[in-house]
Amino acid sequence: MQPDGEEVWNEIETQSFELAEQCIKTNYYGVRGMVEALTPLLQLSDSARIINVTSKLGLLKNIPNGRVKGLLNDVESLTGDRIDEILKEFLKDFKEGLLKTKGWPTQLSAYTVAKAAMNAYTRILAKRYPNFHANCVSPGYCKTDLSANTGYFTAAEGAEGAVRLALLPDGGPSGFCFLQKEMLTYF
């Protein structure tokens, strides 16, 4: 039997270290691993696209820690190793109960940090592979089992932004974050 939306949200909002670690592994390292596994195939394409699904929660304005925000926003010197260091620091602070003290988000903290890390990684990809189109998109708050069907958009409406990015002509934007169909000028 599938859990209902309320049970899912209760589990998501429960912030244990183990769940935070799992969230980071899924929402950042899972994406990164998949992209790295598929990159050799994408390099064979004349019009490679990487579209990472993000959330408005992953925008840097949701991370109070100014140093971390600055590091994730500095695409010129940002590396995958630097993101790894930031995530290790987050998990250490989480485990020690120092989220608020160290300037991390306190609500849905692991999800927020994982999505911010993924957004930054997407910008690294755009720089590393200039022939690719690497972007991230937030589908918005969609009516799904995860949201207990309380979202504003249908799943089909939420998917429109990702599909649109996948079908962009060559020469389109790369290294950007989109909120549905709107290209954001900030991360």
pLDDT digits (tens, 9 = 90+) for 67-119: 999 999 998 999 999 999 999 999 999 999 999 999 999 999 999 999 999 99
17-21, 107-111, 125-129, 149-153: least confident range: 149-153
pTM: 0.89
Residue 92 burial by Cβ neighbours in a 10 Å radius (0-12, 13-18, 19+): exposed
Residue 131 has pLDDT above 60, yes or no: yes
Return the pLDDT at 1: 52
Return the pLDDT at 8: 55
Cβ-based neighbour number of residue 101 at 10 Å: 9
Catalytic residue chosen out of the listed positions 29, 111, 129, 141: 111
**What number of CA atoms fall less than 13 Å from residue 167's CA on the CB side?**
7
Domain range for 12 is 5-183
Looking up residue 115, the CATH number of its domain turns out to be 3.40.50.720
Whether 111 is catalytic? yes
Instruction: Report the candidate in 143, 152, 106 with the shortest Cα–Cα distance to residue 13.
Output: 106
Number of domains in the chain: 1
Return the pLDDT at 182: 87
% of the chain residues with pLDDT over 90 = 72
Give mean pLDDT, residues 160-169. Answer: 92
**Cα angle at 137 between 108 and 119, to 5 degrees?**
60
Residue 10 has pLDDT above 80, yes or no: no
Give mean pLDDT, residues 17-46. Answer: 97
pLDDT mean across residues, the chain = 90
Residue 141 has pLDDT above 90, yes or no: no
Residue 6 three-state SS: helix
